[in-house]
Structure 1
């Protein structure tokens, strides 16, 4: 199935914006949803809407089966050993905060070290900043090379016996860098540290095998992988999750409640307090079915071809600055750039007038922007429904942008 055929499953893409056919190049922020996911949500609300795990009536049983069935799909999707290792959350941010607040507070003390990189999303920086402030731990940053990559030699030097946590994104949402997570995980484990992977930009685009990576935790979101907003996953090795305390308390996650003491349900439900994100999980399950039918390998190869084509075409525009891996180097399916001295918000506004949606700003990576020596960038991110024609429209739009702001060139 090619991208043009796949595009037919996404009704939102069949529209005009400002009089032009929509070209959606902001999937790294959130992907569009195929009709299969929309219909799965509609079916749940029209036919099966009920709370889960609590009743014995038919609707409750159907909702529970669909909710827990989605958990099984996620387990298989990332090749976790057990379904108990799959915890549903609101998204990557919630997953990372839960790990920091539960595992971090119990296992990190004064003088310990936490290692991250300059390229991290704010949601993989601030929880560790806060943990370091609370515990007296030291937050350390892996340096970046000129092309936005990290060196394993730097990881070996920075990760020491004092390191308790290493937390790194597998794919940069700005640079498109694909980090050597498996190798860094091995280095972390040799020093006695755990490895946490931010998979928000990975799960939608390429296969993840947590057993092969041997990571201790993985966080990702449904809305970036054709699923609904408000649903995400926290994967954790069972022995680690077993020894962690919940951070949210109430219904659903309890086993027994007394006047002064309470006990928790077994995994994974002890981390899913309150009415869970039932529709979101069902929608995520439908998204996984859709992605697997197309094939993650096919999606990854398609996006790499688009990124290479975009790099080639954008490089022909004089005054363009492109960030991240160089032409010919492997990168994820996005290109981040600036057009001369034109502010990225102005670039995005001109493109929007042509029906082209890109992202502009600091992309929740202000430390990385400082490292890049700019305040903001524009970003075009590709997904399974994008085509070379979309890239051509982007290039045409950027040429028009240069003409519009010719006085600054």
Structure 2
């Protein structure tokens, strides 16, 4: 099991639900869909150095390398927000992922600083915990000023205000845990496989993450302003190494927190084969959400669902629906939860009170 020493559990102050996206119906998908977003592009070069390094070029090369690696996996479908040097609005980047009903959104960038700062860091959406995180987000968010009609499109967001992220109405805490998990896998690979300086998993108000409605991360792969790291990032071998680390993290995520596990279904044992079986000393529950808010488990707070319980794990409250040793019954409750609108709900289980992977029990 991977260490979670790099994970930073994010405490958010508002629990809200998505309401402003237009969903385009798509057929049921058989593959795990990953949207790769190369930061900047076109007339937006991103960060630059005097030696000629440009963030938009490096980010695109790494992104395409990540895609090539992921496309080798028949279970994964890759979609790009851009595959060439072109400008894509932040709003459209998220919309591409939303229309595809993607399972993951991964935005790839490079960092810069006036010092010889170095290392990689991965962000999830959240409140700016400190000035440094704010400055990184502010730099990436400033691209909106290059977009047409940005005053209207981003009227709710003040790129210069650390507090403005609180006013955003699309901070989806239901994806927070998965985003943190993926971010941790990325940082683990950077540290363990590439021996890069680990600047950890962080939180900040990136507009591009705010636009998505699925687990999403923004990766700052390193500092192009650092002499040695800039050289590493600008070489094909360095870009390939970084891309492989990111791709491995995505594959690891897909295998452990992918579609089958989120539905509580073992990829090697169909649901029908475990129907009506009671598992001794095992309690199955449907996880509805994870939130920094302590919400009363009243039916009106959970779209009419009864039997909702909560448990505080770290800084997050986990909200569960139902509790039974009957796998068939918990599958029925999962169906009901999804019908009520909890589209990301999934089955979890506890054996002798200890949280255990569902697939381990079914196998």
TM-score (norm 2): 0.30
Greater Rg over alpha carbons, structure: 1
Return the TM-score normalized by structure 1: 0.27
